[in-house]
Amino acid sequence: MIIIVGLVILVAAVVAGVAGVLANSGQAHALTHGFAVFGYHVTGSTGTLFLYGIVIGALGMLGLSLLLAGARRTSRRGREARRGLRQSRRETAAVSSDRDDLIGQRDTARAHTASTLGSGTAGSGTAGSGARNGGRPGRSRLSGRRPATRQAAAAQPQPPAGPEAPASAPDPAGSATNGSRP
């Protein structure tokens, strides 16, 4: 609707301009007082002067429309950038919340594992036990303690086998000290 109104106004202005130039041409409408613009002396009829005015006005409107279009484009880009920034901040907050939840789960699992190892329950500290890796021997989980390697097992001193060794104390390295593989 706005485009149609603008087109009607533009056509009316062109018709009025052409009629003004044609009606004010000839010797009867000569400029009585000469004037200069930027050092250029305008001579001729009032119709010629009116035509120059139309051209200057059209150029001014073109410049104004380009200026407004540039400002509109800049504001649109800024609005899209702010929208993207808000979305990025929401995503960052969601990822941070997920990370904090996972850290809390990890800390809870570590505390549970430490309390289980510290309580001295039978079979809870061994790497081959089914309780720690979900009842599936030979498959390790991503969280929790990892079994020691053979080199670390060979480097650790063996606990005394005599009567002075406590029977209920858990092995701190799991079952890796006895040379078996998980």
Q: What is the pLDDT of residues 84-94, one digit of tens each?
A: 999 999 999 99
**Residue ranges of the domains in the chain?**
11-25+42-106
CB neighbours of residue 138 within 10 Å: 9
pLDDT value at residue 46 = 79
Task: State how far the Cα of 176 lies from the Cα of 113, in Å rounded to an integer.
Answer: 17
What is the pTM assigned to this prediction?
0.41
Pick 156 or 81 by higher pLDDT: 81
Residue the block writes with tokens 């150029």: 59
Task: State how far the Cα of 125 lies from the Cα of 172, in Å rounded to an integer.
Answer: 8
- Amino acid at site 7: L
- Amino acid at site 76: R
- Amino acid at site 112: H
Residue 2's Cβ-count burial label (10 Å; 0-12, 13-18, 19+) is exposed
Looking at the chain, the whole-number percentage of residues with pLDDT higher than 90 is: 19
Q: Is the pLDDT of residue 124 over 60?
A: no
Pick 176 or 117 by higher pLDDT: 117
- Nearest in space to 124 (alpha carbons), one of 171, 157, 176: 171
